[in-house]
Structure 1
Amino acid sequence: MAGADRLGAPAGAGRLKALLPRRPGSILLCLLGLLALAAAVAPSWLTPYHPTQIDARSLLQPPSWKHWLGTDELGSDVLARILYGTRLEVAIAMGSVALAALVAVPAGLLAGYRGGRADYALTIVADAILSFPIVLFAVMVVASLGASLGTLIGVLGIVFVPRIFRLVRGQTQVLTEQGFVRSARSMGAGTGDILLRHILPNILGPIMVIVPQLMAVAILIEAGLSFIGLGVQPPQISWGSLMLVSKNYYVSAIWYPLSVGAVTTIASAALVFAGDMAGNAINPDRRTS
């Protein structure tokens, strides 16, 4: 009977179980991802307060049932400002990485597959950008062009290009020597067909590993630039701009800067953890190394 029960179990249930996260860390990461998505798409679902709502009777109030993370110097709900700031964080992180990928993936594919002078020139440019510390490069560009959301996304995209380029180029060079690529070439497949149908699908995994890690870097750099006044400018709200304001209340309202700093740290750590989990899923041997 037990064997019959096992044979009679629906196949769909087994597939669903295989897709569900099994580790507590994976479950927590999924919950954080859903929370961040809700905060980015519809923050009003998570808080009844508007981020610019001012209450002169509730200035710098500590956390309570009414205001879970307290209020700021204008009486605005801190949680509401953090949730609405998530929109900008997601836009900066995803926008900068997407911009970098649009440039780096095609360049890395062509450089790794073709080689020659183009590969040499692109590698030199990538190494030149990598020679600059990320934060210093970002400060120089933003200070020269002026602080704005577009400038911030653009400069982060530039510093991320060589990191994705080197990954794609290296993976392409390895795959170019594989038998299935040689077979496709011998059968008359063109360069575009080989790159798009045979090589690109096989390097999407490593790309998906580095993407969340770069998004975490983008969040931290935005926070740092906004903290020194070179990032997101008022009236726009970001976690970095909230840090800039909250630093004045470390003594009188410690919950204010701690809340913003904790959210930034947790979000960045979760993205790094997501990249590591993706790497373990793609290459299980990493778990024992």
Structure 2
Amino acid sequence: ECWSWGNINVVIDDKGGYNITIGRRIWLRSSRTAIYVDNQWYSSDDNTLPLTDISYTSGFDPNLGDYRDFQLNYDLVRDGIRTKIVGHIRDWYRAFGISFHLDTGDRPLTNTVPLDMDHVRTVFPSFHIEQIDQNDQRGYFTFEGEMSGDDDKHAGWWNSSSKVIRSGIQSCPVVLFNLTQQGEGDMLVLSPFSQFMATSLSQTNSNILEFGVMGSMLSIPANYTHSMVVFYALNGINEGIREWGKIMQNEYNRTNRHRLSDVTINYLGYYTDNGAYYYYNTEKGVNYEET
């Protein structure tokens, strides 16, 4: 099925695969859904986490409005007990993008042998990092590391040889754009949409971008949900990132009011932070405070 309220579409097949398209071109092609629990993997790609059915409903978010909700229902069987795992794919009427939500079921998911913090222990969604065909000229950039991601920010081609996510625990949102449009046309932002301190992006050795709960966490409580958004904008990178930020603020009832009125951020920090002029130089004959 193909659903769209704008230029970005989601195409879902009867096996639970999903593609994100812009216009008529595929931008993201799905990989597996998986859960690491009881020190082992359950995955849709080997049918240890089988898809049972796909359902559809609609809903309303008080901050973001109407959406269509496609539910990929999986059957997790542990010690003879079945747990329903649901992957939601939401197509928003405001046409800002597609969001993915994973409900991990009504039982805690625990491990005694954790994965490392640069990988994830729940996988939904996941996408191939690939060049679709020879006409696919997309690039990416992402922030990573300390100083709000400035230390290890990097960019490159969106293909299977690129190391997009170098450290999962330090990963940040990923921006995809069309190099033939010089970053001034269609773009996507891939970012967490909830549970920001517990989830991250990671990249596998098979060049799959996976989103989920960090692998170092030993326990996931019952009835846990996390989400990721694939945000779309058509007016280039700078405007697109601003629009993505506004959507995130809308969802969590945040504004710029405190930042705009803060003396330290607007004046003191600008002039005296490490790297700024007055960090190294006071006014002649006076100290930092007097400066």
Structure with the higher strand share, 1 or 2: 2
Q: Which has the larger radius of gyration?
A: 1
TM-score range, shorter chain: under 0.3
Normalised by the size of structure 1, how large is the TM-score? 0.22
Q: More relative contact order in 1 or in 2 (CA 8 Å, sep 6+)? A: 1
Normalised by the size of structure 2, how large is the TM-score? 0.22
